[in-house]
Structure 1
Amino acid sequence: MAVAAVAAAASLVDVRGATVPMPTVTGPLGASAAGDPARDYPLNASVVDLKGRGYLEQEFFIEGTASRFTTPPQATGTVVDGGHPYKTRIIVRRPATAARFNGTVLVEWNNVTAGRDLDIDWFQTYDHLTRSGYAWVGVTPQWVGVGALKAWSPARYGTLNVTHGGTLANDELSYDVFSQAGQAVRNPGDVNVMGGLRVERVFATGHSQSAGRLGTYVNSVHPLGKVFDAVILHGGGGRVRADLDIPVWKLLAETDVQNQAANRQPDTKLFRTWEVAGSSHVDLRFRTYSTQFGPRDGSPTAPGFVSAASRGAPPSGSATGPSRGAAAGGVPSLGASPSSGTRGTTGAPGCDRPSYSHIPFYQVFNAAIDHLVRWAKDGTPPPSAPPLEIATVGPPAVIARDADGNALGGIRLSQHAVPTAVNTGVNTGPGFCRLNGSHEPFTADRLASLYPSHAAYVGAVKEVAARNLRAGYILKVDADATIAEAEQSNLGR
């Protein structure tokens, strides 16, 4: 494996994050073409044409010694002990030139609920990130992610370890490992993982289980090191303390609100929650992206890993729907076959409803990222948004719905407010069905009753897209794309 450079020994820096050690960085690592049977390339190498977007992808190893922390609820932790050796990988996707870089880096805590690293926030936002000049860094701080890497390519990843040689099996080091990864981005040493780009802001982000861990991190560990300028808790995370000094943003799908509704917090000067009606924890965009690299890389998992799905438990930090056989969040049945669980090409076999909401949650995520830059940079707060309406608080909460079964309240994108289907964040069935949400198209008669002409449909879409754009919930590029999709449809013709 080719190695371009190896950094000098770990050292401390004297700017933001001064108490966080600087890891030793090795890389960028050489790589064969993605799909090489020898597997000498990054697991989860991007399926996006990064070069065509003026971007590049590089993998680095970071290593050093990490500390364990106490993590009292909504309070600053303390160091338990230190000196635990670790070594893990990070993946950097960044503009190839300084002219393309906007100064902001998103550092994602990769999700391991499926037994391997998944860069879910990258899945959702890569179009916007690469269009707008952001950089993205994916971090593998947990033993499951490292174990899957080693199982997939022992030659490339065999030296990685985040358990102090197997003596720390509960991800005790993950918080400090994540801090040190952020430090390598913010205050690079001899090996500059950002290729010399001038970094102005570093945001932490993570989805589901990773959001849960980031919620703990921002409450208990961030105050000790203050590496990050803002945090996005996507699809999870517990209550956030009120005295933090950086913006924290919860972005929740309808699925997530089921277990978050009873624990909502009001918006403040440095806290926001946005809830997106009709969206699901695992949606069509997630599914579409992940199926592109799955056949290429296979499905490696860490030895000894037992999934939350097989245990019948929700991923840590996420939400779960009602048990199988219960009314799925109050959604009226449209006659879907419980045995097939499929409609078109988007179903997950065995789920009680056709899987994967088609509501483009990523459009809201894109807008939130741009708002977060202004919020962190000069204190300009983002707009607040109405919450989803709740019929029964629970948990799990039952979301209030219209006669068709679509959720009331929340951020209502055109695809939801001008519906052509029932899109929800609920489902039932085995495995992770409860996270997939559902998508059930309206009948032709129902569509005709709603939209007597193509012009009526397009006009309604334009009105809602314009309203969401004015409110700041979506960007113009996504509003334009939504309108173009409606104009190209055959509905009402």
Structure 2
Amino acid sequence: MFEGKNKLAAIVAGLTLGLSGFGALAATLPTIQPAPAAGAPFLGLGAFDLGALGYVVEEYFISGTATSYKLKGEPTADGAWTAEPAATAPYATRIVVVRPKEPKRFSGTAAVEWLNVTGGVDAGPDWTYSHREMLRSGMAYVGVSAQKVGVEGGQSLGGAGMPLKKANPARYGTLVHPGDAFSFDILSQAGEAVKRGKVLGSLSAKHVLATGESQSAVFMTTYVDAIDPLARVYDGFYIHSRFGGAPAPETAAMRGGPNAKGPAGVLMRPNLRVPVMTLISETDLIGSGLSGFWAAQQPDNDKLRIWEMPGTSHVDNYMFFIGGFDNGSAPMDKIAPLWKPTDALFGAKMAKPINAGPQHHYVAMAALSALDSWVRAGKVPPKAPRLDLTATASPGDTPKLVLDANGNAKGGIRTPWVDAPTARLSGFGNTGGPFGFLVGTTEPYDAAALARLYPGGKADYLRKFDASLAQAIRGGFILKADEPEIHALAAANYPGG
């Protein structure tokens, strides 16, 4: 009996040590200080007045000791990764907070974006694509300078770039980033700052979502597979426009980089802790020279939704020309011309006009809203059909999209821009400048093609457009609140008036 008590004591002690060890891996609350009052945060939030929309913009410096991680074993394609702490280093970075002025307007949800540094500067593509939904639904937004390039500078598609310490040395000169291997824990600590650090003023977040687009989405795939089981900070993840691979946390490099390793396609881990919404464009799926998401496709499950969008590119007209001016109430005669196809981008001439399909923007807002409802109320988002792909002859081949008679992709989330089209919209096929491989193409139909599709002219077009739009709204892939604007945009931009 005494021996049995000793065994029981040993088991209890082991469980206690195990729980204690797990707690030691959980995220810590960083030191939080307001940024200097003078000046504004260096982050493109748009050329519209957030104050007039009932929001406050604030910036905080967060600092402390960050932990890097390493995998136990090699990174596997199934995403069932087990990580452990590797090293520690001091850090100091910043977060930018956009929150409602009035507590009664706050929905209780904060969206925390891993800022994207592909262009050599902190950018918030999820803010740009989805700020309209964040603002009208009463979310708070927090942008996190998680990666070294955004703080200190380094290699990027944008060349030398504009890191914080170069953009404003007086404001950001005290920031220190020890390297991207520590970015995962920095994201965790930023989440803790939102949950427990009073960075939302008098507001208290009931639900905290992590978001990231492009390179950030690739890193967040690693975060979900390896770090989230330990950190347990976020209530849901919005992974937007990832490609196929994901780096091991110790390398913290995009696949194809000098320190990257691992399979070309990495799935979301089989036992997800919280809901994950993944949104994929054509560019992401096929890869456009990078590892395509097609190699990481997997069925939806009780905590995973994957939405694939035909006729979309990785970035498009809305990202470059519209999102920064779109306050939700701009007159249609000001907004509609910005959607017209153009081949000019940042001083470079593209081989073809870039993708001008509006669906990426509108579906992105629906995806974020769906994740929010999933986390807040347990309302599971609809499942979406996947884009149709050709069969591959050998394991090394890349599949192609299956196209319809009008040249647009079959399958995926159907929207009026591909089911009542006025152009062929693609996620690839362009060149020019550093971003040409990501911007896709728009090839407007000629008068003969439009007459064949819409023999009754504009009225015929709008009837078919509105029918497709209504179906997308019923399916849960476009928000009802956007219906009037979408109809007005279609009427304004029909070729020939």
- The count of residues paired between Structure 1 and Structure 2 equals 412
Amino acid across the alignment from 1:58: E
Amino acid across the alignment from 1:347: A
Alpha-carbon offset, residue 290 of structure 1: 7.4
Unaligned 5+ runs, structure 2: 1-22, 153-162, 244-265, 287-291, 327-339
Q: 1:80 aligns with which of 86, 90, 102?
A: 86
Task: Determine the structure 2 residue equivalent to 1:354.
Answer: 353
Say if 1:43 and 1:149, in contact at 8 Å, map to a contact too: no
User: 2-side partners of 1:459 and 1:385: how far apart?
Assistant: 24
User: 1-side partners of 2:205 and 2:37: how far apart?
Assistant: 24
Q: 2:293 aligns with which of 246, 260, 276?
A: 260
Alpha-carbon offset, residue 28 of structure 1: 4.9
Amino acid across the alignment from 2:468: V
Please state if 1:249 is matched with 2:277.
yes
- CA pair 42-490 structure 1, distance change in 2 beyond 3 A: closer
User: 2-side partners of 1:390 and 1:246: how far apart?
Assistant: 29
Task: Determine the structure 1 residue equivalent to 2:470.
Answer: 466
Alpha-carbon offset, residue 413 of structure 1: 1.3
- Correspondence 1:273-284 to 2 at 5 A: 273-284=306-317
- Correspondence 1:91-170 to 2 at 5 A: 91-147=96-152, 148-163=163-178, 169=179
TM score, norm. by length of structure 1:
0.79
Alpha-carbon offset, residue 135 of structure 1: 0.8
Alpha-carbon offset, residue 487 of structure 1: 3.5
- CA pair 87-398 structure 1, distance change in 2 beyond 3 A: same
User: 2-side partners of 1:213 and 1:269: how far apart?
Assistant: 23
Say if 1:203 and 1:231, in contact at 8 Å, map to a contact too: yes
> What CA deviation, in whole Å up to 9, does each residue of 1:191-231 have, x standing for no partner?
x2101212110000101110010000111111111000011
Q: 1:397 aligns with which of 396, 399, 403?
A: 399
- Correspondence 1:75-474 to 2 at 5 A: 75-82=81-88, 84-147=89-152, 148-163=163-178, 169=179, 171-188=180-197, 192-236=198-242, 238-258=266-286, 259-289=292-322, 345-348=342-345, 349-393=348-392, 396-430=398-432, 431-452=434-455, 453-474=457-478
User: 1-side partners of 2:400 and 2:166: how far apart?
Assistant: 41
As a proportion of its length, which structure holds more helix?
Answer: 2
Say if 2:341 and 2:356, in contact at 8 Å, map to a contact too: no
User: 1-side partners of 2:496 and 2:186: how far apart?
Assistant: 55
User: 1-side partners of 2:341 and 2:134: how far apart?
Assistant: 30
- CA pair 353-345 structure 1, distance change in 2 beyond 3 A: closer
User: 1-side partners of 2:220 and 2:341: how far apart?
Assistant: 36
User: 1-side partners of 2:451 and 2:475: how far apart?
Assistant: 30
- CA pair 435-67 structure 1, distance change in 2 beyond 3 A: same
User: 2-side partners of 1:54 and 1:290: how far apart?
Assistant: 18
Say if 1:175 and 1:217, in contact at 8 Å, map to a contact too: yes
> What CA deviation, in whole Å up to 9, does each residue of 1:348-405 have, x standing for no partner?
4343322233233121111122221222234321100011111245654311112332
Q: 1:485 aligns with which of 479, 482, 489?
A: 489
Say if 2:25 and 2:85, in contact at 8 Å, map to a contact too: no
RMSD: 2.2
Alpha-carbon offset, residue 183 of structure 1: 0.4
User: 2-side partners of 1:487 and 1:47: how far apart?
Assistant: 26
Alpha-carbon offset, residue 109 of structure 1: 0.4
Percent of residue pairs bearing the same amino acid type: 38
- CA pair 363-70 structure 1, distance change in 2 beyond 3 A: same
Amino acid across the alignment from 1:138: G
Amino acid across the alignment from 1:172: A
Unaligned 5+ runs, structure 1: 1-15, 35-40, 164-168, 294-342
Task: Determine the structure 2 residue equivalent to 1:323.
Answer: none
TM score, norm. by length of structure 2:
0.79
Say if 1:234 and 1:252, in contact at 8 Å, map to a contact too: yes
> What CA deviation, in whole Å up to 9, does each residue of 1:446-480 have, x standing for no partner?
11221122221111111011101111111112222
Say if 1:110 and 1:140, in contact at 8 Å, map to a contact too: yes
Amino acid across the alignment from 2:451: A
- CA pair 446-204 structure 1, distance change in 2 beyond 3 A: same
SS at structure 1 position matched to 2:116: coil
User: 1-side partners of 2:444 and 2:229: how far apart?
Assistant: 48
